[in-house]
Amino acid sequence: MTSGDGAQGSIDRIDRGAGVIGVFDQERAEAAVHELLIAIGEDPEREGLKRTPHRVANAYREMFAGLYTEPDEVLATVFDEGHDELVLVKDIPMYSTCEHHLVSFRGVAHVGYIPGESGQVTGLSKLARVVDLYAKRPQVQERLTSQVADAIVRRLDPRGVIVVIEAEHLCMAMRGIRKPGATTTTSAVRGLFKTSAVSRGEALELITR
């Protein structure tokens, strides 16, 4: 919620219809970061850390903004173009947060679809926005890939959807196995791209070109 002077309140509630789809509690987040600093042996009152709980809470509000917005609504605007061939947006920059360690994974998403019988298409930027909103949640890459594909199926009723995400996971690069530069590729195919090897091959060829 926002106060009268435009400043952020302590708790954000974003409503869709009669229900709340997400809550961000600024004060609780700041208190949690304060306690975490103590837990790792730091002094949250020293000069460099005094504002850290506030900064981290603000960063998390932004990084997890997808919890407070319904991504499907982004695709509500469509245009009657009578288009019946592949629409593909490649190399969409993507940043997300691994839900297991709360560290980042980043990469690119490729999103394509073949419009349904109506020939309706959505704005190209809307596809990137859907990726962004699902990415701005605690995630695993496999689920993120499927969520983007399923949102397009629900809202656009296309004949086919393909989503490919390539990402580097910092939980693999900076801890544990420590393999910087290793990338993970996931895909989700729906409709014609699942049933037709030819259509799927054409899309994958364009993605990797």
Q: Is 169 a catalytic residue?
A: yes
Q: Is 99 a catalytic residue?
A: yes
Q: Pick the catalytic residue from 83, 100, 120, 142.
A: 100
Q: Is 171 a catalytic residue?
A: yes
Q: Pick the catalytic residue from 8, 54, 83, 101.
A: 101
Q: Pick the catalytic residue from 54, 70, 166, 171.
A: 171
Helix (DSSP H) and strand (DSSP E) numbers for the chain = 7, 9
Q: Pick the catalytic residue from 98, 110, 139, 147.
A: 98
**Which residues have C-beta within 8 Å of that of residue 78, sequence separation ≥ 6?**
120, 121, 122, 156
- Please tell me whether 110 is known to bind a ligand: no
**DSSP assignment string, 133-160:** HHHSSEE-HHHHHHHHHHHHHHHH--SE
Rounded distance between C-alpha atoms, residue 163 and residue 194, angstroms: 12
Q: Is 120 a catalytic residue?
A: no
Q: Is 98 a catalytic residue?
A: yes
Nearest to 94 by CA among 176, 169, 174: 169
Q: Pick the catalytic residue from 34, 110, 139, 141.
A: 141
- Please tell me whether 54 is known to bind a ligand: no
Nearest to 119 by CA among 79, 153, 161: 79
Q: Is 101 a catalytic residue?
A: yes
Q: Pick the catalytic residue from 45, 81, 99, 142.
A: 99
Q: Are 106 and 184 in contact (CB under 8 A)?
A: no
Q: Is 34 a catalytic residue?
A: no
Token pair recorded at residue 14: 């974003």
Rounded distance between C-alpha atoms, residue 139 and residue 131, angstroms: 12
**Residue ranges for the binding site for Zn(2+)?**
98, 101, 171
Which residues belong to the annotated binding site? Answer: 98, 101, 171
Q: Which residues are catalytic?
A: 98-101, 141, 169, 171
